[in-house]
Structure 1
Amino acid sequence: MDLDSVRTFVAAADAGQFQEAAAELAVTQQAVSKRIAALERHLGVRLFTRTPRGAELTIDGQAFLPHARQLLRVADRAVASVRTGRRPLRVDVIASRVAPSGLMRGFHRAYPEIELDVVMLFDVETAVAAIRSGAIDASFRAVAAPGRPLPDDIESVRVLDEPHQLLTGPAHALAGARSVTLAELAGHRIWMPGLVPGTEWTAYYDDLAAEFGLTIEATGPNFGSDALLDTVADTPALATFTTEQTRLVWPVGHGLRRIPVTDPTPVYPHSLLWHRDNPHPALATLRAHLAAIALDQDATRTWVPDWVITR
C-alpha cells in the first residue's frame, strides 16, 4: 500500500476538503485527487463523497480511517527506529541484577531525556556480532575469551572493577567471618550453576579456580538466582560467589551472609564495547558519563585474568 496515498487520505479526511489537504501537504489539488483515486482502486471501495462543502467520508472511508492513522504511526516509528539521533540508544547489560544494569539506571537518572532500549544478550561473541551489525550500540562485557581478541572495528574501555563477595548460608563454616582470603577458600565447595562452557564469565572463573586452587562447581541445572539462594541457605557445605553490586533479595529466614573476598580481591572488570564508526550522539554521552566512574581499586591487591580487555 502506498503510504503517500494513505497520508493524503488522512489529511483530506481531517481537512474535509481536497484543496486544504493539498495546501497542508504542499502538493497540487490534482495530486491529492490522483492519490485518493489510486487508493480507492487499491482498496476497491469509495472513500469520499463529493459535496458542495467539500469531501465527506463514506462508510468505508470511516472504517478505514483509524487503520490509516495506525499505518502512518507504524511507518513513522519504523523510520525513527533507524534514524541516528532519533532512535533510542540500544545497550546490552547481560542481566537485570548485575552492575551494568545499575550503571545504565544511573545514566538514565542523569539523562532522562535520552531514550534507551536495554537488552540482555548471552555472551561476548553474540554482543560483538550485534554491535557490528548495528543491532545494538554498545555492550557491557567483562573480558574477551582467551585467544579471541576483539575485532579491529570494536572499541572498548574498562569502566568498573567490581569486587567479589562470598555468599554463604548461616551454618557455613565461614559464615561468621568479616572477610575471607582466597587462600582460606581452598577446600570449600563454591557452587555456580550458571557457568556455561565457552562464555567469558566461565573463562574468568576457570582461571580464578586454577590460580588459587579453588573448587568451583557448575553441577546441576541452573534454575535461576532464587533457587541458588534457597540451596545455599539450606546447605552448610555450599557457598557461591557474587559481586558487590549484584542485587540479591532473599527471605529473612534464609540468614545469608555476603562476605568480602581479599588478599587479593578478585574483581570482575566491566568494559564498555562499541563500534568505532557508530554515530549515535547519545553513545558519546554515555561514554563521558562512564568516564567519571573511577577505577579506584589498588591493582596490587586485586586480581583479574591476564587476558582481560585492557585497551
Structure 2
Amino acid sequence: MELQQLRYVVAIAETGNFTRAAERCRVVQSALSHQIAGLERELGARLFERTSRRVRLTPAGEAFLPAARECLEAADRARAEVAAASGEIRGRLAVGAIPTVAAVDLPVVLKEFRRRHPRVHITLTSTGSEELIEQVRRGSVDVAFLGLPTRAEPKAVQSRRLARGELVAVVTPDHHLADAEADLSSLADEPFVDFRAGHAGRAQSDEAFAAAGVRRDVTFEVSSADLMVDLVRHGLGVGLLPAAYAPRFPDLRVIRLHDAPARVEHLIWGNHPSPAATAFLELITAEA
C-alpha cells in the first residue's frame, strides 16, 4: 500500500469521478485506475462501484476512507516535523475565524505569516464559533478566532482570551437615536436584525436584554454580519455589532449602549499543534 494510492482514493471519493480525480492528481486516468485496482486486490475488497452517472464508495470504501485520510495527514505532519527540525516551517495551516473578528487584523496577520513562512499552504474558513470549535476538535482547522459570551469558555480545545469588547447598535442615519447614547430599554419597541437563536453571536445580546428585563422582537434572523448590515441599511431593523467592528460600515450610525451586550474573543487550537500552527500562535503572541 502506497501513499499515492491513498491520495487517489481520497480524490475519487471527493470528486465522485475517475477522470476528475486523475486531473486533480495530475496523472492519466489509466494509471489512476490501475493503482486503484492493485489496491483493491491487496485489500481483497472493492472500494468503489461505478454507476451510469458517478462513482460511489462501497461499504468497504466507506470504512477505508477515514483511515486513508489519517495516513495522509500523518505523512504530511511527519514531513513538516522533519522540515521544522531543520529550521524550515512548511505544510498546511488551516485558519478559522468568525466574520466579525476584531481583536486582530486578520488579513495583516496572514500576510505577515505568509511572508515569514512561504512554504506553508494557508487556507481560511469563516463560520460561526460553534462550528469552528468542532472543526478544531476534529483537526480540520488548526487555529481559530471565536467570539463568545463573557461567561462562556471553549471546551475540549486549547484557548487564550484575546480581548473583551462591547456591542453597539447600528442604525440608519435618519434613526431618532443615531449617534446617541441609550439604554437597552430605549430599543424595546424596535425590530431587530440578529443572528439565529442559539448562535454564539446571538447569545450575548439575548443575555443582555434578559438581564435588563427588556423583551425585544428579532424580526430577521441571519447567518452573516454582511446580511445583517444590508437589512439595517434598508431600515428594516436595528443590528448589534462589536464596537471595534462597526466602523467598517461608515454609512451606518451607532447607538452606544450603557448596558451593552459584551463578548470575549478567543484564539483556540488543538492539543498537538503542527509546526505551522505553532509558528502562527507565536506570531499572534508577538503581535498582541
Please, what TM-score do these two structures have when normalized by structure 1? 0.54
- The equivalent residue for 1:90 is 94
Aligned runs of 1:145-156 on 2, under 5 Å? 150-151=155-156, 154-156=157-159
For residues 140 and 127 of structure 2, the distance between their equivalents in structure 1, rounded to whole angstroms, comes to 11
1:117 aligns with 2:120: no
- The equivalent residue for 2:62 is none
The one-letter amino acid of 1:120's match is: S
- On the 8 A contact 1:190/1:241 being kept in 2, the answer is no
**Cα gap change, 1:286/1:172 in structure 2, threshold over 3 Å: closer, same or farther?**
same
1:44-86 Cα shifts (integer Å, max 9, x gaps): xxxxxxxxxxxxxxxxxxxxxxxxxxxxxxxx99965884452
Residue 216 of structure 1 deviates from its aligned partner by 4.2
1:260-305 Cα shifts (integer Å, max 9, x gaps): 33x3554321001112222x223333333333566xxxxxxxxxxx
**Cα gap change, 1:176/1:86 in structure 2, threshold over 3 Å: closer, same or farther?**
closer
The one-letter amino acid of 1:93's match is: A
1:29-54 Cα shifts (integer Å, max 9, x gaps): xxxxxxxxxx8xx69xxxxxxxxxxx
The one-letter amino acid of 1:246's match is: Y
1:142 aligns with 2:147: yes
The one-letter amino acid of 1:187's match is: A
**Cα gap change, 1:222/1:3 in structure 2, threshold over 3 Å: closer, same or farther?**
closer
For residues 81 and 175 of structure 1, the distance between their equivalents in structure 2, rounded to whole angstroms, comes to 52
- The equivalent residue for 1:277 is 272
Residue 221 of structure 1 deviates from its aligned partner by 5.3
Aligned runs of 1:27-66 on 2, under 5 Å? none
**Cα gap change, 1:121/1:87 in structure 2, threshold over 3 Å: closer, same or farther?**
farther
**Cα gap change, 1:182/1:173 in structure 2, threshold over 3 Å: closer, same or farther?**
same
Aligned runs of 1:123-272 on 2, under 5 Å? 123-124=129-130, 126-143=131-148, 150-151=155-156, 154-177=157-180, 180-182=181-183, 185-189=186-190, 191-193=192-194, 195-220=195-220, 222=222, 225=225, 228-235=228-235, 238-246=237-245, 255-261=251-257, 263-272=258-267
For residues 209 and 110 of structure 1, the distance between their equivalents in structure 2, rounded to whole angstroms, comes to 40
1:117-146 Cα shifts (integer Å, max 9, x gaps): 11123342x323322222111121223798
- On the 8 A contact 1:186/1:213 being kept in 2, the answer is no
Residue 197 of structure 1 deviates from its aligned partner by 2.7
Bigger Cα Rg: 1
The one-letter amino acid of 1:281's match is: P
**Cα gap change, 1:269/1:227 in structure 2, threshold over 3 Å: closer, same or farther?**
closer
**Cα gap change, 1:117/1:229 in structure 2, threshold over 3 Å: closer, same or farther?**
closer
| Corresponding pairs, count | 212
**Cα gap change, 1:167/1:141 in structure 2, threshold over 3 Å: closer, same or farther?**
same
1:174-203 Cα shifts (integer Å, max 9, x gaps): 1142xx24356453425124x223322222
- On the 8 A contact 1:80/1:86 being kept in 2, the answer is no
For residues 133 and 197 of structure 1, the distance between their equivalents in structure 2, rounded to whole angstroms, comes to 25
**Cα gap change, 1:88/1:266 in structure 2, threshold over 3 Å: closer, same or farther?**
same
**Cα gap change, 1:205/1:82 in structure 2, threshold over 3 Å: closer, same or farther?**
farther
Segments of 5+ residues of structure 2 without an aligned counterpart are 5-30, 36-71, 81-88
Segments of 5+ residues of structure 1 without an aligned counterpart are 5-38, 44-75, 295-311
The one-letter amino acid of 2:240's match is: F
Q: Secondary structure at the match of 1:150?
A: coil
Query: RMSD between aligned alpha carbons?
Result: 3.9
